[in-house]
Amino acid sequence: MKHRIATLADAPLLGALNHQLIQDEGHRNPMSELQLIERMLHWLSNEYKAIIFENTETAAYALYHEHSDYIYLRQFFVQRHLRRAGIGRQCIEILFSEVWPAKRVTVDVLSVNQAGADFWRSIGFSDYCLTLEALPSKSPEFAEQDAAANP
Domain that holds residue 68: 2-149
Here the CATH number for the domain that contains residue 68 is 3.40.630.30
Residues whose CB is less than 8 angstroms from the CB of residue 111 and which lie 6 or more positions away in sequence, other chains included: none
The structure's pTM equals 0.85
- Which of 2-6, 108-112, 142-146 shows the lowest mean pLDDT across its residues? 142-146
Q: How far apart are CA 43 and CA 7, in angstroms?
A: 11
Q: How far apart are CA 117 and CA 109, in angstroms?
A: 6
Q: What local confidence, expressed as pLDDT, does residue 16 receive?
A: 96
Task: Quickly count: other Cβ atoms within 10 Å of residue 3's Cβ.
Answer: 18
Number of domains in the chain: 1
User: pLDDT per residue over 94-110, tens digit each?
Assistant: 999 999 988 999 999 98
User: pLDDT per residue over 18-69, tens digit each?
Assistant: 999 998 887 887 779 999 999 999 999 999 999 999 999 999 999 999 999 9
Question: Are 71 and 64 within 8 A, CB to CB?
Answer: yes
Q: What confidence category does residue 142 fall into, taking pLDDT thresholds of 50, 70 and 90?
A: low
